Structure formats: structure tokens, C-alpha cells
Amino acid sequence: MPQLHDTPPAAVRGDIDSLRQYLGNVVPSKRLDENLLIATWNVRGFASLTREWTAGETDSPKRDLRGLLAIGEIIRRFDVVALQEVKGDLRALRDLIKWLGPDWAFLMTDVSAGAAGNSERMAFLYDRRRVEPSGLACELVVPEEWLKEFGADALRSQFARTPYAVSFRSGRHTFILVTLHVNYGNASADRVAELRGIARWMREWADRTNTWSQDLIALGDFNIDRQHDPLWQAFTSTGLTVPEDLERVPRSIFADPDQPTTDKYYDQIAWFDESGVAGGLSMSYQSGGFVDFLPHVYTNTELSKTAISYRVSDHYPLWAEFLA
């Protein structure tokens, strides 16, 4: 049975060489003591693994070594990556961590129980040469008082998949990353209360942590349908700001090619961009973007986008670069 560390077949090597070249052109290099690269990625149903280079028609799951190797090549380009849709079965994650090597580690939640939780975990993978945990790891819980409030957009329950916050240190900067995956629900209106709750939580937390010069960054899959729609307005209602670079990039491999920046606006990296006031980001944002892996994976196959989404993902990774 092949392993991820084995030499891949020629077709896979060709794909990986192409992906590496592409990544070298679009993702900034890691520069010691100079920059910090943060990414978020909803990796579709990241669970088990078929330990074959290319899964066959009868293999289950469809995620194979070929897809996992592409995921690893992307992740290793960053310093910290927030992953959503990590499931109860950790076979693929464990193989990935072994392949990344001893310089890499991860922190994650337990599985979210209940139907809305979808048996998902939140996880952070990080390069220990570049960042280290600085003491905080917690899940965000809604105060009981919030659940007693009235109104069309009031929260009625705790977050379906509890947001996960971890503090990291890189050089002279301490920053808190909060990752989440908003419950999609039966209709877009079902997400408004949760998005407003997240925005409120982030605002109040930013106000509290400002005294300690800790930057607070929200990232993950917010399941926002379109920019400037009611979901977007709920998300930004307390001042969370998405950098202009990331307003212009697609989030999903299934995004409408005629409206790549407004259709399926799910994934975000955001912070309070208010210099000199409580919650304002102290790190200097440089640039951001996404990773279009599609032209560089499974190139000698006839797999559809849907088939590739189960092997790699249906979401693109988003990334942001800061001065360290």
C-alpha cells in the first residue's frame, strides 16, 4: 500500500511540479522575522483517506494520496492555516501532519455534536519555526443573557459549530485567530442571527483585548452568499473589515465565472481596521489572495469539478500576508 512519503507516479509528480511553480508565483515567500502568512481553508469533508495515488471508481472515500499531497503542498506555504470541516475520522489529517514533518503541529476542537454540528472539528495547523501558541485556546460560548433577547435577528441558541480561538506569537506580535463555520441552515435568513452574534462577540472581545496589544482576526467559512447582502451586512455590523484584495477573489470552485467576486462569498479573513482605537489591527497588512489549485490537480484524468472537490476541496484557500 503506498504512503504519502513515497515517490509518486509520474503523472502525480507532474501535477505537483506545476502546483509548486504556481504557488511560488502567487504566494509570498516565508521571510524570517519579516512576514507572517495566515490562511483559511474549508477542506471538504476532511476525514478518511484511500491510500492509493488515485482513487478508483469503487474506492471510498474518494480523497486519495494525490489529493492529499496537493493539500499538503498548499498548506506548507503558510505559517498558520485554519481548517474547517475536519471530521471525526482523522486518517487524512494524521497522514498530512506526518508528511509535513516535525516542524508542524496542530490544535483542534472535539467533534461538534448534533445535526447542525455535522460532526465537524475546527483546527489550526501551524509551522513551529515561524509561530508558537501563546497560551489561549478556547471555544466561544454565547452569554445566557443574549439568548433571552428579543427581535427578528436575536440568537435563539448557542452557535451550531462553536467558534474556536487560539492565540499565537510571531516575533513581537501576539494575535488571536478565531475560526468558524457558520451553519448553512434551510435559508439564508437562518444565518443572520448567528452572523450578528459572531460580529458582536468579536467586537466585545476586541475591546477587551486591546489593552494587551493583541490583534484579533476572524477567519473561516461564514456562508455569506453575496457581498453586501443581508448576511454580509450582519457580518460587518460591528466593524469587521475584509481587505480589498480579498473582496475581489472567488471562494468556491463552483462560483459563477461571470460574477466571481460576488457569487458564493462564503470564506473570509477579517479584522477591525480602525487604527488607534480599541480593536484596531496593529500588524501591517501587505496583501491577500486565493489559491486556484484546479488547473494543477488531476490533469491527466477526466474528473469533473465535483469529483475533484471530494479529493481536494470545493473551496479555495484564502490567505493574507502581514509584516511580522
Taking domain 10-323, whether its CATH number is 1.10.390.10 is answered by no
pLDDT of residue 65: 98
| CA atoms in the 13 A half-sphere facing the CB of 313 | 27
Is the pLDDT confidence value at 1 over 90? Answer: no
What pLDDT is recorded for position 115? 62
Residue 278 has pLDDT above 60, yes or no: no
| DSSP β-ladder status, 132-139 and 120-127 | unpaired
Q: What is the pTM of this model?
A: 0.94
Spell out a b/e string for 132-169, using b for 16 or more CB atoms within 10 Å of the CB, else e: eebeeeebbebeeeeeeeeeeeebeebbbbbbbbbbbe
- From first CA to last CA, the distance across the chain in angstroms is 42
Pairwise pLDDT comparison (160 vs 76), residue with the higher score: 76
Q: According to the model, what pLDDT value does residue 112 have?
A: 75
Q: Which residues make Cβ contacts (< 8 Å) with residue 20, sequence separation at least 6?
A: 73
The answer to whether the CB of 283 falls within 8 A of the CB of 175 is yes
Q: How far is CA 115 from the centre of its chain?
A: 22
Question: Across all residues in the chain, what is the average pLDDT?
Answer: 90
Burial of 100 (0-12, 13-18, 19+ CB in 10 A): middle
Secondary structure E strands in the chain: 35-46, 80-87, 104-108, 120-127, 132-139, 164-170, 173-181, 214-221, 240-241, 267-272, 284-290, 318-323
- Distance from C-alpha of 36 to C-alpha of 312, rounded to nearest angstrom: 25
Is the pLDDT at 157 greater than 90? The verdict is no
Is pLDDT above 70 for 117?
no
Report pLDDT digits (tens) over 216-263. 999 999 998 888 888 989 999 999 999 999 988 999 999 877 765 667
- Could you count the other beta carbons within 10 Å of the beta carbon of residue 289? 19
In angstroms, what CA-CA distances link 216 with 23, 26, 202, 270? 27, 25, 8, 9
**What's the whole-number mean pLDDT along residues 61-67?**
98
How many residues does the structure list for the chain? 324
Q: Evaluate whether 160 touches 112 at the Cβ level (below 8 Å).
A: yes
Q: 188-216, pLDDT tens digit by residue?
A: 887 888 888 889 988 988 887 665 567 89
